[in-house]
Structure 1
Amino acid sequence: MTKFLLVNFPPTVALSKLVNSLKGVSSRRMRQEFPELAAHYYRASKLWSGSYFAGSVGGAPLSIVRQYIEQQNRPV
């Protein structure tokens, strides 16, 4: 399942550190809120893949980017 995030962060933050932080925090929070995940993913000991994709939208208006993201994963 693919999920999209629209994130605005300063250029002084390394993208890899941002992604690792998002994955780590979300994994801990999900395990706390949904303990059954820990049992299900016990052997893998991780919820997220080690990979990620990041793209830049440059100067595109946020309203257009949001619209694009909202239209993803919708049946055609």
Structure 2
Amino acid sequence: LSGAFASGQKFVRDNFGPIVVPKNAVFVMGDNRDYSLDSRFWGPLDIKYLKGKPRIIYFSWGDKGLRLNRIFKIIG
């Protein structure tokens, strides 16, 4: 084995934050948190680079667990 896992180093997901996201920026995370090169590596993304708009809430998790009333909700 090689890399961070074999050497005992912590993954970024285990050793990150807190972070303050500036106004007019977003914090973008990939869906494969162990291997995604995302805002944890390149920082917040200026909203001028966003090309799409949200249309649906696919999954929603809150402080008290799963929010079933928001799953698959059309928002745009």
Bigger share in helix: 1
Bigger share in strand: 2
TM-score, normalised on structure 1?
A: 0.22
